[in-house]
Chains A and B, each alone.
Chain A
Amino acid sequence: MQDIVELHRAVSAEFGGTQAHPGVVDSQFGLVNAVQRPQVTTLGREAYPSFPEKVAAFLFALLTYSPFRGGNRRVALAALFAFCELNNRTIDSRVLDEKSAETLFRRAAAHREMGIPPENVFREIREMLSRAIVALPS
């Protein structure tokens, strides 16, 4: 939780411009829900057993709930790296390049307005991340 809020502060300070709201949480429920999403169990089983699924679930929840006042997609991109590096992994930028990351995050954040089913967006994120997440070089 605290790490995500700190990430939002940093992202807003660096890229937010004059109308940034560093660290301002609009939906505490959404933030808690997104942070706890990878640990969800269904009938005693993990809902997202693999690591790429956990990251995808976290990102999808963060982008769907938009808990911060502005900068939600930027925070999600930074949080993707933080989540991976906290678990000794990183993102291969040759697989997930800038353009595809931008498109993916835009689609995930606005899937309701675009009329895209959420399960399709989640699957898209999961498949991309399963290819892009690699072990952190020591």
Chain B
Amino acid sequence: MKHGDKAKSAKTKASGKEKGAKAVQKTGAKGGKAGETGKKAPAPAQKSSGAKAAAKAPAKAPAEKSSAKGGGKAPAGNGAAKPRPAVPAGPPGFSNPVVANAFKRAVKKYPNAFRKLTD
């Protein structure tokens, strides 16, 4: 039976190694510690997620900085923060500028009539 126990423990070790190997494949260099014991495998995975988060954080920080600096002076080559085109003020699209002016004038002259004339 002892031999069986040893075999089991060998299997668990082997599985632990396999998990560790998977963890190594997933997490990269730091996951190598997971190969020592099977049960300790999740902890390095957490570490690796933390590492991922840490890897993501510096990537976000420059973007925030660039947006904070923001405005029209964003670097052109970056592509992360392009200056947005100015939103056109006034009524939406008129193909004829005379009609657009007429609409503006009508709204200016008869604002209450426009509000009260409901269908």
Contact = CB atoms under 8 A, between A and B. Distances in A.
Interface of A: 2-3, 6-7, 9-11, 13-15, 66, 70-74, 77-78, 80-82, 84-86, 90-91, 93, 98, 101-102, 105-106
B54 interface: no
21 contacts: A3-B99, A9-B92, A10-B91, A10-B92, A14-B91, A15-B114, A71-B119, A72-B119, A77-B117, A78-B103, A78-B106, A81-B105, A82-B99, A82-B102, A82-B103, A85-B102, A93-B110, A98-B113, A101-B110, A102-B113, A105-B117
Interface residues of B, number: 23
The main secondary structure of chain B at its interface with chain A is helix
B103 A10 contact: yes
Contacts of A15: 114-115
Given A6-B99, A98-B112, A102-B117, A81 B94 contact: no
Contacts of B93: 6, 9
Contacts of A106: 117
A101 to B, nearest CB: 5
Contacts of B115: 15
A93 to B, nearest CB: 5
B103 A77 contact: no
Contact of B119 (A73, A78, A80): A73
B49 interface: no
B81 to A, nearest CB: 30
Given A71-B119, A82-B102, A77 B113 contact: yes
A2 B95 contact: yes
A102 B116 contact: yes
Interface in B61-119: 91-96, 98-99, 101-103, 105-107, 109-110, 112-117, 119
B91 A3 contact: no
A98 B113 CA distance: 6
Contacts of B117: 73-74, 77, 102, 105-106
Contacts of B94: 3, 6, 10
Nearest to B117: A73
Listed residue (A72, A82, A101) with the most chain B CB atoms within 10 angstroms of its CB = A82
